[in-house]
Amino acid sequence: MDAGQELVLIDTNVFVIDLRYHRDPNYAQNRRFLEGIELSDRGFTTLVNLFELCGILSFDLNREQLNDLWVHFSRKYGVSVLPPPDFETQCPVVEQRRVFEFVASRSSFGDALMVAAAERYLPFVPTLVTWDKEHLQGIFKGGVLTPQEYLARK
């Protein structure tokens, strides 16, 4: 399958670069990747990633801006968030044993939580796109690419 047709899970750091680090050397490629995803309707992220993104940006955004990010994130980037963000629903729990297995295999808690959520809610997504490729290879069951590598496959 050509990269333009492939379903992809997008890690938090891709969104952080787009929203916060416009001078990052990878910003232009990161932006091109996100623009392509927005047009393709093939991008996904987890609720864990959205919570992580909001937590990172909470130091720079006021409550109203943070709420806008939460509410409009999916539409802004053209990605699906699973499970869907909904303040009226109890936060879903991932399998604790699975998170512990990832942590025990030398994964950070955030990465372990994200991959466990992806296994539960996005098992049909074969590729993870992240700038932390070395941290996620071996714990994510599918392919792991940087945005640059993903764009080069097109």
State which residues form the domain around 72: 3-152
pTM: 0.93
Nearest 10 degrees: CA dihedral of 42, 43, 46, 47?
-100
Q: Tell me how far apart the alpha carbons of residues 91 and 83 are, in angstroms, rounded to a whole number.
A: 9
Q: Give residue 144's pLDDT band: very low, low, confident or very high (50, 70, 90).
A: very high
Instruction: Retrieve residue 6's tokens.
Output: 């492939």
Q: Give residue 154's pLDDT band: very low, low, confident or very high (50, 70, 90).
A: confident
How confident is the model over 105-131, as pLDDT tens digits?
A: 999 999 999 999 999 999 999 999 999
Find all residues with CB under 8 Å of 118, minimum gap 6, and list them: 9, 46, 125, 128, 140
How confident is the model over 76-103, as pLDDT tens digits?
A: 999 999 999 988 888 777 889 999 999 9
The CATH number of whichever domain residue 122 belongs to comes to 3.40.50.1010
Q: Count of domains in the chain?
A: 1
Residue 111: what pLDDT? 95
